[in-house]
Chain A
Amino acid sequence: MVHFYESSIITTTDGLHCQVYSNEHPEGGLIVKPKYIPMDKISSDALQCRYLSGKRMNRLNMWIEQEKLIEYIEKFKKTYPQYFWVSNLHQNLFFIVPLNKIEKIYDPRKGLSELMQIPEKFLDIHLRKVYDFVKLVEKSGLAINDLGVTYSTLVGHYFSEHSDINLVVYGKDNCMKLLQFLGNVKDPRLRWKTDEEWLHFRNLRERSSTFTKKEFLFQMTRKKTEGFFDETLFLILGVEEPNETWFKWGGEKYIPKGFAKVRAVVTNNFDSTVRPGCFEVKNSHIKGMKHLNLTKIVFYSRDYVLQAMPNEKIEASGLLEKVLPINGMPYYRLVIGYLDSYLSGRRGKEYIKVIRK
């Protein structure tokens, strides 16, 4: 197993721009999601086309029409077989960048540290907002070294007027501390998404079949992981330090047991600030099944970050897995947002939500 910070950006020798999708990785490769894929070999008219680094690129969006997504992923698999990996441990699919395919690593922490060294007068509108937002964030007690900046700001192809600010926070304690700070701080440039904005997001992510409007608004409006700073969308992306990852790659084996719906009570949400994230649960109940020792609900989609608080009763639907730890007793977990869920049709049925009386 290898630690490599989630939310870092990697460009590959084949010209792909990938986003690191986990803090723990198998030997020989990094778990990623391709973000931009050159169109010279494969393309899809269902995907947005962008001109980046002198190349036409498709922006991979896992939420396009499923048939077109499957068609594209099939082409991807044939064209870039090295980036498509079936993990024997999971009996499931992952996008991966083999280490020998890494061209450049964009390090969010180094990037921000470089950015903050630039005299303010030389920053454009977007970078100035990032700079000012970081200055606000520093008031939480976090240091520049606890923070990073990623995606288009880091790589340099942002649009000055409308690109998001994607702030990486190193360490789960730091992330919690910052979210608490942002929830309390009063700053005229800071605002949270309105109900209307959240409902628009609900439509984009096809959440109307799994969340009523009321449920969705309850879940999202209490999170402080995204909002607006000076009318620019910001996202807080927590990542794990090497000594605090909640699982070690290779420390467990997973046997898929099919699609399931679970109800349980959250005992710990500390590991739910990161991707993949995890809620520890107790008193789980799966309809139509005998009592299983299900103790974790895991997600690969940032939409479920801090979705539930300790002691809250939740309902979740996803892939049930039997977990066989190298050391320890078998247990069960439910996983939301595996790559295969987007291809199998599970994506529209998976969710985690709080059950309110």
Chain B
Amino acid sequence: MSHFYESMLINTTDGIQCKTYANIHPDNYVIVKPKYIPTDLMDSSRLKHRFLFSKCMLRFNLFTESKVVNEVMQNFRKSLPDYVLEDKNHNNWFFVVPKSKIKDVPDARSGLRELMKVPYDDLDSYLKSTVDLVNILIEAGTPSEDIGIMHSTLLGNYTVGKSDIDLVVFGKKNGWKVMDFLNTVKHPKLRWKTEKDWLKYYTDRVVSKFYTPAEYVLSMVRKKDDGFIDNNVFSIFVVEKPDECWYSWQDLHEPIGVVKITANVSDDYNSIVRPGFYEIENSKIVKILSQKTKSGIDKAIIVKRLVTWSRPFVLQAKKGESIMAVGLLERVTTKKEIYYQLVIGYFDSFITGRAALEFMKVPVR
């Protein structure tokens, strides 16, 4: 196992741009999600194309109808087999970059250091907003060396007025400090979607069968990792430092089935990262949607953790809150213990259609 910061960009020797998707990785690989793939390696008329760095690139995206996802994945596995790892310990597969295929990793930290040295007046409005946001995070008490910039902000291919500003905060302690600060700070350039905005967003864009409007609004309005700075959308990604990672690639994961649970959150400290988890208690399996074992699923199983690989479920619930969730039930065998956990957002969920069933929420009566 090795540490490699989540949310970083990796350019591969094949010209693929990937985003890292975990902080701890299996030996010789980095867990990623492919972001842009040169169309000469793989193409699909079903996905968006972009002209990036003088190449026609496919915007790889699994958030689309399952028929398209299946077609795209078949094509991916055939064209780029080195980028899929079948992990025996998980009984599952992951997108990866073999370490031997890493060409370069744009450095989020040094990128920001350089940006902060540019005279403010020489910056365009987008970069000015980026610097403003960084200064707010510094005001929150985050050491400047623990902040980085990512994606198009770092690579320079952003579009003023359109591109999001993506910042990374190194360290969960820093991350929580930032979230607490943003929760209370008043800044003329900082803006959040109001309950009314979220309700409209729900009505126009979401309309979920899992969330009532009130539940959706509650879950979104209190998150401070996405907002607006001077009308530019920003996102803050918190990543784990090497000494604070919780995930182990040595544990054995046995998928048991898809279930709905209710539980209480006993600890949310690790819910700020990807993959993240909520420590839960008083869990109850309230529904079995499907099962993988012939022996069936014992409803008395105690689920200890709710793990999310999906960013929308980061910071979804707070300590002490009751939650309801649907995901993949796994039996986890570590060197010390055996326990059960519910997982949301594994890559395979997009292919199997499970992603359409998965959710996590704080029920609102």
Binding site for B on A (CB under 8 A): 39-40, 48-56, 106-107, 110-111, 114-115, 117-119, 122-124, 127, 154-157, 159-161
Contact = CB atoms under 8 A, between A and B. Distances in A.
A122 B45 CA distance: 11
Contacts of B286: none
A131 to B, nearest CB: 9
B214 to A, nearest CB: 37
Contacts of B63: none
Given A114-B56, A157-B156, A51 B114 contact: yes
Contact of A54 (B50, B55, B111): B111
**7 shortest interchain CB distances as A-B pairs:** A54-B111, A111-B54, A114-B56, A157-B156, A49-B122, A156-B157, A118-B49
B1 interface: no
B151 to A, nearest CB: 11
Contact of B115 (A40, A51, A122): A51
B159 A118 contact: no
Contacts of B49: 117-119, 122
10 contacts: A50-B122, A54-B110, A54-B149, A56-B118, A111-B54, A118-B50, A118-B51, A156-B156, A160-B159, A161-B161
B160 A114 contact: no
Contacts of B155: 53-54, 156
Interface in B131-161: 149, 154-157, 159-161
B39 interface: yes
Given A117-B39, A124-B159, A159-B124, A56 B114 contact: yes
B338 interface: no
B51 A114 contact: yes
A47 B35 CA distance: 35
Contacts of A119: 45, 49
Contacts of A39: 117
Contacts of A55: 111, 114
A40 B39 CA distance: 35
B106 A49 contact: no
Interface string B35-73: 000010000010011111111100000000000000000
B303 interface: no
A107 B119 CA distance: 32
Contacts of B115: 51, 56
A229 to B, nearest CB: 18
Given A53-B156, A160-B159, A106 B54 contact: yes
A157 B157 contact: yes
Contact of B54 (A51, A110, A159, A161): A110
Contacts of A117: 39, 49, 56
A54 B107 contact: yes
A347 to B, nearest CB: 25
A107 B122 contact: no
B58 to A, nearest CB: 10
A161 B157 contact: no
B127 A51 contact: yes
B289 interface: no
Contacts of B206: none
Contact of A48 (B48, B122, B162): B122
B116 to A, nearest CB: 10
B39 A52 contact: no
Nearest to A149: B54
Contacts of B149: 54
Name which of B45, B56, B119, B123 has the most chain A CB atoms within 10 A of its CB.
Answer: B56
A93 B18 CA distance: 42
B156 A160 contact: no
A56 B106 CA distance: 14
A53 B52 CA distance: 13
Contacts of B156: 51-54, 156-157
Contacts of A56: 114-115, 117-118
A22 B45 CA distance: 39
Nearest to A48: B122
A26 to B, nearest CB: 26
Name which of A48, A49, A53, A54 has the most chain B CB atoms within 10 A of its CB.
Answer: A54
B118 A51 contact: yes
Contacts of B39: 114, 117
A114 B157 contact: no
B184 to A, nearest CB: 31
A114 B54 CA distance: 7
A68 to B, nearest CB: 16
A50 B45 CA distance: 36
Interface in B100-118: 106-107, 110-111, 114-115, 117-118
Contacts of A118: 49-51, 56
A55 B118 CA distance: 9
Contacts of B106: 53-54
Given A117-B56, A156-B157, 16 more contacts: A49-B118, A50-B122, A51-B156, A53-B156, A54-B106, A54-B110, A54-B111, A106-B54, A114-B39, A114-B54, A118-B49, A122-B49, A124-B159, A127-B51, A160-B159, A160-B160
Contacts of B110: 54
Contacts of B107: 54
A122 B48 contact: yes
B114 A54 contact: yes
A280 to B, nearest CB: 36
Contacts of A51: 114-115, 118, 123, 127, 156
Nearest to A126: B159
B279 to A, nearest CB: 37
B5 to A, nearest CB: 15
Name which of A118, A123, A156 has the most chain B CB atoms within 10 A of its CB.
Answer: A156
B50 A122 contact: yes
Name which of B54, B55, B111, B156 has the most chain A CB atoms within 10 A of its CB.
Answer: B54
Nearest to A110: B54
Contact of A161 (B53, B111, B160): B160
